[in-house]
Each structure stands twice: as C-alpha cells, then as structure tokens.
Amino acid sequence: MPILKNKRHEKFALNIFKGMTQKDAAIEAGYKPSRARYTGYRLATYGYIFDRVQELHKEAASDGIMTVRQRKERLSEIGNARLTEYVTCGPDRDLINVGPESPNTGALQEVTSRTEYDKDGAGVAVITKIKLHSPTQAIDLLNKMEKIYEAEGKAIIDNRVLNIYVNSDKAKNLTERLIEGERTSGDNHH
C-alpha cells in the first residue's frame, strides 16, 4: 500500500504507528484539538488507515529490528551484569576473562588493555579496563517499556453521547461555535 494521498491521514497513521493515542495522533496530524478525540476515533475506524498502520508494522518487523522481547532481554542483561563475572582471581594474579561464553556480554560497553613498562623497557603489567553499560539506565528503560511509571487509576472511559437538536441555521452555527470553545458576547460578565 502506498503512502496515503491525504497528508493528514498519512500523518495520523504514522502517529498511531509510533504509539500515540488517537487524540494526540489527530492533534499532531493537524486536526483541531477541541475535536481531536472524536476525529481520532473516527479516523481509526477507516479501513484504509488501519491497513496503512498494519503495513507500517510489517515493514518494521524485519529481521534487523529487535523485537520487544529481544530489547527486554538485552536491557535485562545490562541490568543483571556484575563486574565480577569477568574477573578470575588467582594466587599469582587476577585475570580478565571476556569471551563468547561470558555471561551478559551485552552489558559490556568497553574493554581496553594496555601494557605498562618499567624504565628498562621490560613489560611489567598489563592493565585491562572494563566498562559496563549503566544498569540504572537499563532498569529505567525496562520500567518505561512496562509502563511502571504511569500513574494507576488514570483510565477514563467516557461513552457518553451528547445529541443537540437545533431548529435553525442560526442556532446550528451558534452551537458549533460553542462546541469549538468560542465565547459568545453573553458570556462576558464584569
């Protein structure tokens, strides 16, 4: 399916694909904020917009893109890693062991090694530094993925319908202006 011809519809579909609410997706696509909840709901019912969002999901699901599970596993690997997993202590010296069999290798941010020499040029010591990714940041991202930071009890379900019946064009125009949030001259109290 090609990009939708209506630019606002395409923008709305992209916003939904990115995870926005219907209301926010409509506002971001250029629709009036005062009508965004209804507009977002209405647009989401259009079959061609639904198809476009599904197509975007399929395009993003290539082998090169990490799945949600893979991202959680990698972040968990970072959060679970301990520096002691890469150090072997022996009677003569401590060794840094990092290889394919090492646990939580996704947590490694950097491994550097250098040899220090004495004044005669003989090798004295090999200094290896290991830097891990921040486990705190990994935990924070996992919490965000799980929506742990969102306040509980914020779900608002509002299925009310307001029907306004008018009997003239003048009343219709005035009602539409009021719905859009316009103040009429009778609203100005001093």
Q: Is there a domain that residue 134 lies in?
A: yes
Structure-token match 């020499």, residue found: 117
If asked whether residues 33 and 57 sit together in one domain, one would say yes
* Same domain for 35 and 86: no
Task: Tell which wins on pLDDT, 64 or 112.
Answer: 112
Within the chain, where are the H helices?
7-17, 22-28, 36-44, 47-60, 68-80, 135-145, 169-179
Residue span of the structural domain in which 13 resides: 1-64
Q: Which two tokens stand for residue 41?
A: 């709901």
Total tally of structural domains belonging to the chain: 2
Percent of the chain with pLDDT over 90: 28
Tell me how many degrees the CA angle 21-25-26 measures, rounded to the nearest 5: 120
* pLDDT value at residue 40: 93
Report the percentage of the chain scoring pLDDT > 70: 87
pLDDT at position 37 is 93
Which tokens belong to 94?
């401590």
How distant is the alpha carbon of residue 52 from its chain centre? Answer: 20
Paired sense of beta strands 87-89 and 108-117, if any: unpaired
